[in-house]
Amino acid sequence: MAVGESRYEDAALEAEQVVRDHNITALPVDPFVLAEAVSIEVQPKPSIAAGVSGMLCKAGDNFGILYATHIPNEGLQQFSVR
């Protein structure tokens, strides 16, 4: 098994479990709704804070996602959360 392959497989199995647990059977999936369902807090970055389109933050066992608002594009914001 190549380096990182096990981590990829673990992530894929976890994603498949989330899909089953939340009865996701069709696209599109709203990333904001799914994040809330799995207790991941999603917050907009202040519009004056340019530099990145989004980021995953971890504190202990808790996760959060920040997404950019300095580019007023809903598609970019949803992509950043995904």
**Does pTM surpass 0.75?**
no
Please check whether residue 70 lies inside any domain of the structure.
yes
Number of structural domains the chain divides into: 1
Closest alpha carbon to 18 in 5, 37, 33: 37
Q: Is residue 42 part of a domain?
A: yes
Q: Judge whether 56 lies within some domain.
A: yes
- Residue 61 domain-assigned? yes
Residues 6+ positions from 79 with CB-CB distance below 8 Å: 53, 54
Dist CA 21 CA 66 (whole Å)? 25
pLDDT (tens, 9 = 90+) of the chain, 82 residues, equals: 565 678 899 989 998 999 999 999 998 988 888 888 888 899 998 877 778 888 888 889 888 999 988 888 888 888 888 8
| Residue 35 domain-assigned (yes or no) | yes
| Other residues' Cβ atoms within 10 Å of the Cβ of residue 56 | 11
Instruction: List all residues 6 or more positions away from 81 whose beta carbon is below 8 Å from its beta carbon.
Output: 31, 32, 35, 42, 54, 65, 67
Question: Which residue range(s) make up the domain with 32?
Answer: 26-81
